[in-house]
Homo-oligomer: A and B are copies of this chain.
Amino acid sequence: MNREQEFLSQLVQPNDSKLVLLVLDGVGDLRNAAQPATALDAAATPHLDALARRSSLGRLEPVAPGITPGSGPGHLALFGYDPTSKEADIGRGVLEALGLGLELAAGEIAARGNFATVDSERNLTDRRAGRPPSSEGQRICALMNEALEREPVAGIEARIYAGEAHRFVLRLRGDCLSAEIRDTDPQQLGVPALPVTGENPAAQATAAQVEKVLTVLRRAIAQEPQANEVLLRGFSALPHLPSFRQLYQLKAGAFAGYPLYRGVASACGMEVVPASKNFAELLETVASRWNDFDFFFLHVKPTDQAGEDGNLAAKAAVLEEVDRALPQLLALKPDVLAITGDHSTPAPMAAHSWHPVPLLISGELAYVDETTAFTEEQCIRGHLGTFPARHLLALMLAHGGRLKKFGA
């Protein structure tokens, strides 16, 4: 727990208010010569705009001016952690494992795996093995697990967990394993996978064991026509994040359709509730679990996907879909509702960006400013101003009456 979190946690006073954080992934967008209106400008969102007129608007700076966050740091900041701190450095492997519902123990290592295709000289010809259907991925993962049981590697227990399509997680158990292992994905075609190497001398022993595990895996899939190689990335161990319960005395539920976001939420001590990728359906799940939590993290992914595709119309359409379902969420009468994103994903950039992210906070104690719609431009003028995303949780707790006065 860092100094800021310790300070905040001492002020927390639990009550029965319900707080909802709705994350529209990558919602922030760009106005420029090429695109004179953002997705929020372009979308018809009457419910969001009506809500904006009785709420406070503002903007979040995900990490710091000019810094473009990945999904992990973006969400950790929303959850009140300093995304640049060592403790919040959650590896991709761990996120993927948590997202698949694995309960990693301390000292265990996880890596993200990919099936890939290599030619007869073991040079890569497809880094995703033709994106097989998930059922096919599961079949190949089963082959690999059988091989690992037949031919165990001394001193290390390895197991494979199938993800979506060509993705899987490799979990490693053993004494004194190091997570400081480099990726084996060379990030290009026409060359072989990289050998397993440690980031430092102390990690070489683990690297050598992982290389032996890889040999077993490769033998198991040697006859596959497409998925005849594996690439490993993001070796990492569980971080020691203080939980939502420790930090805020909140019983938190995460409603997300995608593994990564479930993973981040799980690392923060939230209970992951399996939820649909469809927002209206996700809200039905939220309604069915309304009495079980006092903090609800709701994740909407397709805003980001449309942004990454550079597709403004698709992004606006997702926002309109969210807007249509919004009355379902409001009907639950959350005491505090914050709507924002983990970063901007401007369509003209087809990528994440550093631009500040629109924010709306509604609730009985929210200052009703003179803004009239949930857009980037209105958010510039809002009462909340522009502030680092890691302070959002404190502000939500305050609006929910969950923070005592500091000092006399």
Contacts and interface: CB of A to CB of B under 8 A. Distances in A.
Interface stretch (A268-276, A315-323, A385-393): A385-393
Interface in A98-122: none
A259 interface: no
B349 A407 contact: no
B349 A394 contact: no
A31 B386 contact: no
B70 A408 contact: yes
A332 interface: no
Nearest to A72: B407
A202 B124 CA distance: 66
Contacts of A404: 68
A176 interface: no
A54 interface: yes
A244 B376 CA distance: 33
A84 interface: yes
Interface residues of A, number: 69
Which of A351, A365, A367 has the most B CB atoms < 10 Å from its CB?
A: A367
B380 A67 contact: no
A356 B385 CA distance: 10
Contact of A73 (B70, B381, B407): B407
Given A32-B364, A71-B408, A383 B385 contact: no
Contact of A69 (B54, B376, B396, B405): B405
Contacts of A377: 369-370
A84 B7 contact: yes
A385 to B, nearest CB: 4
A66 B33 contact: no
A68 B398 contact: yes
Contact of A354 (B95, B370, B385, B398): B398
Contact of A380 (B369, B391, B398): B369
Contact of A397 (B7, B33, B66, B351): B66
A190 B54 CA distance: 45
A114 B398 CA distance: 31
A64 interface: yes
A301 interface: no
A398 B385 CA distance: 22
A65 interface: yes
Given A391-B64, A397-B66, A408-B92, A381 B380 contact: yes
Interface string A82-95: 01100001001001
Given A364-B32, A377-B369, A406 B68 contact: yes
Nearest to A34: B364
B405 A11 contact: no
A24 to B, nearest CB: 18
A64 B391 CA distance: 8
A197 interface: no
A129 interface: no
A209 to B, nearest CB: 25
A368 B33 contact: yes
A32 B398 contact: no
A306 interface: no
13 contacts: A31-B368, A65-B394, A65-B398, A68-B403, A68-B404, A69-B407, A70-B407, A71-B407, A95-B408, A353-B365, A356-B385, A367-B376, A380-B381
